[in-house]
Structure 1
Amino acid sequence: MPTPAPALASPRKPIHLLRALLRESSYLPDATARLYFRRYVVSRFKAYHPRENATASVRVQAVERYRHQGFKRRQLAIIHERTRPLLRKGQKALNFLRRANQGEIPCLQKVLFFAYGRMGKRKYALLDNLLRPDPIMDNSAPPPDMGYPTPLQALYYSNERCLQFFDAPKPSSSKTHYTIEISNRYSRLRAVVRSQHQKGLGLHKEIKSPYLKTPINNIWERPMPINRARNNVRRWYAKTLTKLLPPLPSDEWDNIHAMMVGEKRISLVKRRERGLDASLEAATEDERFASAVEAAIALDKPSRADKPAGMQRPHAVTPKFMRKLYTSILVLCCKLEYDEQHKAWKAVWGERLKHIKTSLYTVPTDESLFAGVDSKGRLLQTAKEHDVDRSSRVQPRNAEGEYVRFPFFTDYLPADHPLQKELHDWKRKRAAVAQAEKRKVPGGAAPP
């Protein structure tokens, strides 16, 4: 006899939570995100659905283009044990989707990251497609997927999967390190790793190097042990794949680019009006009062979706707002194209729009709006002010044409002192030059 299910931590039943999650998923402002989260929510709930109440299919059929496999159905004891924490987790996911539909940038951006494989389950589905070897062009080299060891597997005496992606080590010019690059049979993987490292892109941290650099000897100047060399390769492989941004299908990348530049319409969904609760309409006044008291006693803490505030407050989800989000998403996405000229794969990454519409410069304007300023927006200096300032900066010179500097105490010397006489003569010449410049300026003030 199966054990009874424990009491739920939340008044919301699982079927009600499922419907609420599907409803919020249908309001997402992106078509790909709506399809992804709908199938994700259904597969998660069916994984914890008891087998006797399930349909004929054991696993949930996912979309073929995503290469997803449904979550495996759990046993009844595991379902009973995980019901309470998973319902709390589902409630948090519901609040997260509500905040995304309200226009909070971090939440909506994370939703797009999940939908387009920058993180989450779909990222590993795209990586699985990228980690496949290229078609065999040379029959002399046996393929690694036919049971033959690759150079690194044979060198390290191991059949680990991570070793088959690399070529044989090559010593550096200094003879202190080995350089291990990605094999030519995985040219698509190598092209994506190199291009992402060259552009310095990453969701959190960028890829440090497109190849592995490992020392030949250890600190005792002895040959590196095989176990440690194998661990170095495994560690670099794990870190690189964690930071790697797998390429999207070409049609999906082109679809995002078309919506970003405005060539394709963004499929926004209008939210349906909330229906009236028939049970409350048929309830008596005492029942309504009792339900209101029960809701007040519960003291449920409102989520950020109920009381949004702060810098990340909700924004109006408009096509212009979504184009900005698509720009930030496309910068982290690439597609693979085969270059026939160089016979190699090329990764094409998204770029931010930097051009300005020419219509902004063709609109007629009144010239009086920009009168009195130069091309840089600075006020023009009148000729009178410019000439007077230049005459006031006249420096005294001696007979040889060199500048003469008067000490700071010259004004305090007696009137018959030679320095005091020279300073007085220079001031008189400077005043005469200033008066002459004033007469040349039209409308200049007359000398007193």
Structure 2
Amino acid sequence: MDRMRKVMMLTFGRTGWRRHELLAIFRRPEQPLNSTQLEASFELQDGQTLPARGWLESWDKDKLLLFAKSQAGRSLRSSPRPQAVLKRLDPKKAVPSCNIWGKPLAAKPARTKELKWWKQVENRILPPLPRSEWDLLKQLATGTADSRWDVPPRRAPVATTQLASTSTSTLSGGSSETWAWEKYLTGPMRVIERPNSRRFKLPLQSRTPQHAIPLDGPAIGYHNYTPRFWRRLYNDMWQLSSVIETKTSSGDKWDIASISWGGTGLKPLPPSTASLEFFKGLDSNGNQLVRPEGEARRAM
């Protein structure tokens, strides 16, 4: 189960090289649509100077920060990345205005603190998936995927008999059983006796209890993978993923409302009749309801 979950984390870009690939595409600035937008990006206000170029200037910091705030507002269970805290996602608080002596902070340590803060923000981000992959993950999590995604049924293991004798012996009926002693001379004992260990045995459905040996039974750590198990595992991946919707009409840039996260909400079970009897005569806050005078006398 843990290994299959790790494979899904790598496949859907929650960890590993694919996460870095999706993150590199996501943090890339959007190209200007026309020459007017290109000229506006190079215009400087009065008193401004052209900033020094580095790896941080090649990031779309506004988009990265907006997505980090959207992720911090979610309760991501079993996330492989450190949880982002909303109150700490303020770039103005990343660089102090003064040093410990009360003087203005120098440009080089201020730049170092800024780069370190943005690296920490990037380390917490789970990048969004392409729309096609996110829709497929949703269908697998909700059980509405096509039949070609169904898990094939497991083949029944073939029952095998085990030689109980440890040497060549002649039985009373005249038949003989041979002991393959050559493999004990050519191979290590731990490899030869490994198939007899319960840890590596598969469950034999055809074996009856009366013929079972003391160490017989299903393999240790053996898990039966059911369709419900796969839906729950896909749902864990789905609630860790997101997709970028179309831009809103508020402007050229999208906002937090255009980020959709996966996951199904928890639906509480309806109360039983016995539970309703326990809360009879109480309101939603647990206070006792005022009964009519005649009914109160009958209850006494």
Q: Is this a same-fold pair by TM over 0.5?
A: yes
The 5 A counterparts of 1:297-316 are: 306=200, 313-316=221-224
Instruction: State the one-letter code of the partner of 1:375.
Output: L
CA contact under 8 A between 2:236 and 2:263: conserved in structure 1?
no
Q: Does 1 or 2 have the higher relative contact order (CA < 8 Å, sep 6+)?
A: 2
Deviations 1:379-425 (A, max 9, x none): 99xxxxxxxxxxxxxxxxxxxxxxxxxxxxxxxxxxxxxxxxxxxxx
Alpha carbons of structure 1 residues 269 and 149: separation in structure 2 relative to 1, 3 Å = farther
Instruction: State the one-letter code of the partner of 2:246.
Output: Y
Question: Match of 1:121?
Answer: 17
User: Secondary structure of 1:335's partner?
Assistant: strand
Aligned counterparts of 1:143 and 1:299: Cα–Cα separation in 2: 75
CA contact under 8 A between 2:71 and 2:84: conserved in structure 1?
yes
Runs of 5+ unmatched residues, structure 2 = 159-176, 203-219, 282-296
Aligned counterparts of 1:204 and 1:251: Cα–Cα separation in 2: 24
CA contact under 8 A between 1:163 and 1:233: conserved in structure 2?
no
Question: Match of 1:205?
Answer: 82
* Residue in structure 1 matching 2:53, options 151, 159, 163: 159
Instruction: State the one-letter code of the partner of 1:268.
Output: V
Instruction: State the one-letter code of the partner of 2:55.
Output: R
From the two aligned structures, give the one with the greater helix fraction: 1
Alpha carbons of structure 1 residues 197 and 138: separation in structure 2 relative to 1, 3 Å = farther
Instruction: State the one-letter code of the partner of 2:82.
Output: K
* Residue in structure 2 matching 1:352, options 252, 264, 269: 264
Deviations 1:172-196 (A, max 9, x none): xxxxxxxxxx24xxx3x34422211
Alpha carbons of structure 1 residues 299 and 204: separation in structure 2 relative to 1, 3 Å = farther
Is 1:320 the equivalent of 2:232? no
What's the CA shift for 1:378?
Answer: 7.0
Aligned counterparts of 1:248 and 1:110: Cα–Cα separation in 2: 17
Question: Match of 2:188?
Answer: 295
Q: What is the aligned-residue RMSD (CA, Å)?
A: 4.4
What's the CA shift for 1:298?
Answer: 6.0
User: Secondary structure of 2:243's partner?
Assistant: strand
Question: Match of 1:217?
Answer: 98
Is 1:230 the equivalent of 2:111? yes
Deviations 1:2-34 (A, max 9, x none): xxxxxxxxxxxxxxxxxxxxxxxxxxxxxxxxx
Question: Match of 1:59?
Answer: none
Alpha carbons of structure 1 residues 204 and 330: separation in structure 2 relative to 1, 3 Å = same
User: Secondary structure of 1:215's partner?
Assistant: coil
Aligned counterparts of 2:18 and 2:72: Cα–Cα separation in 1: 22
Aligned counterparts of 2:131 and 2:150: Cα–Cα separation in 1: 20
What's the CA shift for 1:347?
Answer: 1.1
Is 1:339 the equivalent of 2:247? yes
Deviations 1:87-130 (A, max 9, x none): xxxxxxxxxxxxxxxxx2x2222221111100011111111211
Instruction: State the one-letter code of the partner of 1:193.
Output: A
User: Secondary structure of 2:108's partner?
Assistant: helix
What's the CA shift for 1:299?
Answer: 8.8
CA contact under 8 A between 1:200 and 1:207: conserved in structure 2?
no
Question: Match of 1:253?
Answer: 134
Number of aligned positions between the proteins? 232
Q: Which has the larger radius of gyration?
A: 1
User: Secondary structure of 2:22's partner?
Assistant: helix
**Identical positions, percent:** 22
What's the CA shift for 1:141?
Answer: 5.4
Question: Match of 2:217?
Answer: none
Alpha carbons of structure 1 residues 378 and 132: separation in structure 2 relative to 1, 3 Å = closer
